[in-house]
Structure 1
Amino acid sequence: MIRFTKLHGNGNDFIVIDEYKAKVIQDDEKPAFASKYCDRRFGIGADGVLYLGISDKADIRMRIFNPDGTEAEMCGNGIRCLVKYALDKGYIKANAAVETLAGVLSISSRRNDRTWITVNMGRPEFSREKIPVKGTGEFLEVGMHGYKVSAVNTGVPHAVVFVDSLDSPELFNTAPEIRYDPVFPKGTNVNFVRVNSRDEIAVRTYERGVEAETLSCGTGSVACAAVAHRLGKTGSKVRVNTKGGELVVSLKDGTAFMEGAAERVFDGLI
């Protein structure tokens, strides 16, 4: 039997497998496990599987596998869920560090009626080499598939598109075209953004690996805030409204910080 815990961050939901004390799923079986159990009809249902392990670089280690079996470098909502689980188990304290494929990220947490976690997301990368995007320089407001597209890496690659309305079904017909465009050698997540004010934006995200819209994307929210600020559309601190809830993103001296809640849904055995 395999124990698991289901958690979510703003409706972006994950299966957590605890490998802090011993490996549960062999590495070569992790992709197939994610594909099977992320299925919402024949499995547990989730936007990804998180593996919590020990680290020689940080307090804990996070690996994340998407429903299509690919491994992602990082996940903003996922790291909050992993931290929530580790806090509940007593593996870490309120201030800790998490090793990811995108680097070691520091976190802090506070609790009232919910667990609120702030993640130091590092410096958003705008150079094409770091995103990656073919070519040199920055990829800001480039015409693609009928839209002006900007790109940034906030742990994983993101395309950001500013629109007047988030309600058009055409947006998510176009999202796969941008996601798979050859200009992005490793593919990209696609975010549509409406600017509400200097300190508030609304975001919808089509996620690479999920290949569909999710209720929230942490790295995507940071990407949208970073691009909006770089283009002068917002200030350095914004409230990001997603379908699943709210995040707060702050940019300080080029570094992005993301705060949001994470909640346990249930525990189970498979």
Structure 2
Amino acid sequence: MEIPFTKLHGNGNDFVLIDEYEKMVIPDDMKAHFAALYCDRRFGIGADGILYLSKYATSGIRMRIFQPDESEAEMCGNGIRCLAKYAFDAGYIGETCTVETPAGEVGVALAYANEDFTATIRMPTPKFERRDIPATGDGEYRERIGEFDVYATNTGVPHAVILVDAVDSIDIAAAAPPIRHHASFLNGANVNFVQKTGDDSIRVRTFERGVEEETLSCGTGATACAVIVRKLGYMGDIVHVETQGGPLTIHFNDGVKMEGPAVTVFSGVISY
């Protein structure tokens, strides 16, 4: 049996995409285990997650993403850009589309400039919460955890945001796990360390839930950091975010939108 796949990345946040637009390829009860097998960077293809692409309604597509620990994430900003690029290249969608995710419907506008692909994602409305309780005041989404003041927001998935003087001074492998597993987050959280680098720019490093290590970029995490620095009054309606793998731009003038690239790396076939 052969299973076609495509490898893509958004700023180094990499994914293996399985095309189920016409028919199911991996049974639902095997999707999680498939992710554990093929996300492995030594014994598999290697990826931060497996994207499953299928049809949605009459003009959209559906995304499910399973991570190396076999968990299913509600949403993935970099993953949606990669999914949209693949679907556009395959002729499934036009220059705008709707992507259905467990976090809700997400609008996507995409474009090519020569060979460079860019997608702008209308992100879910941010929620400021801990313990899944909507917050109305500052203290309800800010909490002291260990040595850090931690801000909580949900941009499709739960995030912890910590403002620091220099992100490179943080031992993320040691500092992030106690926050990622803290009781304040019922389902765990991605942990982001953010440094102001200018009047409208920040630098971010993210430890991702489900991957259980730092990734080169996290779209929902970049958005979460931009949301927090804007809410605190540090920045305006456009925030430029530098991740380990490259830049993203977060826009607030019409909802919350994330703009960034996606790249197709290669295609192949799994034979067994």
**Is 2:132 aligned against 1:125?**
no
- With normalisation by structure 2, the TM-score equals 0.94
- Which consecutive unaligned segments of at least 5 residues does structure 2 have? none
**Root-mean-square deviation (CA), in Å?**
1.6
Q: Distance in 2 between matches of 1:202 and 1:229?
A: 14
Q: Flag the 1:229–1:17 CA change in 2: closer, same or farther, 3 A.
A: same
Amino acid at match of 1:240: V
| Conserved 8 A contact 1:128-1:137 | no
Q: Distance in 1 between matches of 2:181 and 2:238?
A: 31
**Is 2:3 aligned against 1:2?**
yes
Amino acid at match of 2:121: V
Q: Flag the 1:199–1:134 CA change in 2: closer, same or farther, 3 A.
A: closer
- Counting only pairs closer than 5 Å after superposition, residues 121-160 of structure 1 correspond to structure 2 as 121-128=123-130, 132=132, 137=137, 139-160=140-161
Q: Which residue of 2 aligns with 1:263?
A: 263
Amino acid at match of 2:168: D
SS in structure 1 at match of 2:188: coil
Q: Distance in 2 between matches of 1:136 and 1:184?
A: 17
Amino acid at match of 1:124: P
The structural deviation recorded for 1:55 is: 1.3
Q: Which residue of 2 aligns with 1:74?
A: 75
| Conserved 8 A contact 1:162-1:194 | yes
Amino acid at match of 2:122: N
The structural deviation recorded for 1:33 is: 0.2
- With normalisation by structure 1, the TM-score equals 0.95
SS in structure 2 at match of 1:122: coil
Q: Distance in 1 between matches of 2:241 and 2:231?
A: 16
The structural deviation recorded for 1:94 is: 0.3
Q: Distance in 2 between matches of 1:122 and 1:34?
A: 25
| Conserved 8 A contact 1:3-1:267 | yes
Q: Which residue of 2 aligns with 1:218?
A: 219
Q: Distance in 2 between matches of 1:135 and 1:117?
A: 31
- Counting only pairs closer than 5 Å after superposition, residues 79-94 of structure 1 correspond to structure 2 as 79-94=80-95
Q: Flag the 1:57–1:99 CA change in 2: closer, same or farther, 3 A.
A: farther
Amino acid at match of 1:15: V
Q: Distance in 2 between matches of 1:122 and 1:169?
A: 29
Q: Distance in 2 between matches of 1:20 and 1:262?
A: 20
The structural deviation recorded for 1:174 is: 1.3
| Conserved 8 A contact 2:55-2:61 | yes
Question: How many residues end up aligned between the 2 structures?
Answer: 267
Q: Which residue of 2 aligns with 1:12?
A: 13
Q: Distance in 2 between matches of 1:31 and 1:109?
A: 29
SS in structure 2 at match of 1:183: coil
SS in structure 2 at match of 1:155: coil
- Which consecutive unaligned segments of at least 5 residues does structure 1 have? none
- Give per-residue Cα distances to partners, 1:167-202, cap 9 Å, x unaligned: 124333110000001111100000000011221000
| Conserved 8 A contact 1:134-1:185 | no
The structural deviation recorded for 1:251 is: 1.1
| Conserved 8 A contact 1:133-1:183 | no
SS in structure 2 at match of 1:181: coil
| Conserved 8 A contact 1:57-1:99 | no
Q: Distance in 1 between matches of 2:146 and 2:95?
A: 45
